[in-house]
Amino acid sequence: MKLTILGCYAATPRTLTSPTSQVLEICNHMFLIDCGEGTQVQLRKNKVKFSRINHIFISHLHGDHFFGLPGLISTFRLLGRKKELHIYGPKGIKEAISLLLKLGDSWTNYPLKFHELTSPEPQSIFEDEKVSVSTVPLDHRIYTNGFFFKEKPAERKLNVEAVAKYKINKAYFQNIKKGKDVQLEDGRTIPNTELSFDPPKPKSYAFCSDTGYYPEIVPLIKHVDVLYHESTFLDSDSKLSIKTKHATAKEAAKIAKLAAVGRLVLGHYSTRYKSIDLFREEAEAIFKNVELADDGKVFEF
């Protein structure tokens, strides 16, 4: 599982910082999460292949989370894209994008599929044989979702020595990988645990930005391997976080602790602070395993 931070700062783009956008690589998928202004430039800087992006997840319709989307859609067209592009986001995103394409007479020459979200409850929005994606309803000034990405359990690994010992026919190998026991011709049943090894633990990632302090998400992200949680403000500016429905680094750490996550990645920083290290210091007082997102930073889990 690989996470590339394209942008992780709040509000407006600057010469040295970009608004929210990131790429999650999991199970041979390359998912784009949010698409703030300048995302396609950041994709090029980080050498991310445009052609591998087939699914884009937009948390909400504030500009610093989706104003880069029309340009990216247009660039895909100019690059001669033919594959379907799936966009998951709040109701209204289809109307917004379609109007720009209409006014510019620049309809895509590839299928553009919108999946508009309206439910205040968590829902499954993508699934294949390897990974699933569901929404995490958040508490912001407008309708906003986080996203929970989870690998599905892989097949068990065949214990070659054990199957050779019992002279098990190859015809049973697939069933063994699926966790089934094997009955020998002499009537003995060999338990699957003797014939195979546990697969790697499925990895999971939760993206939660933008949101106020919202403990209601804890059951939805319990024990997630990696949690990206916004930390727009420090606790000294908690009044601003309440007013704008954003979170502090301290509150992000509280959520991480309550949910018993493996690792917390902070982001969506306000640029009012002199150093993002201040966010780590505040969060680590509550939750120890803290990472700082930054533009261009790559995490491999």
Query: What is the per-residue pLDDT across 28-46, written as a single tens digit (0 to 9) for each?
Result: 999 999 999 999 999 999 9
User: Which entry of 34, 64, 225, 295 is annotated as an active-site residue?
Assistant: 64
What mean pLDDT comes out for the span 272-292?
97
The pTM of the full predicted model, rounded to 2 decimals, is 0.92
Would you state the pLDDT for residue 270? 97
What mean pLDDT comes out for the span 253-259?
98
Told to judge if 225 belongs to the known catalytic residues of this protein, a careful annotator would answer: no
Would you state the pLDDT for residue 198? 93
List of domains in the chain: 2-154+200-300 (3.60.15.10), 157-197 (no CATH)
The CB density around residue 267, as the number of other CB atoms within 10 Å, is: 28
What mean pLDDT comes out for the span 188-214?
96
Mean pLDDT of the chain: 97
Query: What is the per-residue pLDDT across 147-180, written as a single tens digit (0 to 9) for each?
Result: 999 999 989 999 999 999 999 999 999 999 999 9
Query: What is the per-residue pLDDT across 54-86, written as a single tens digit (0 to 9) for each?
Result: 999 999 999 999 999 999 999 999 999 999 999
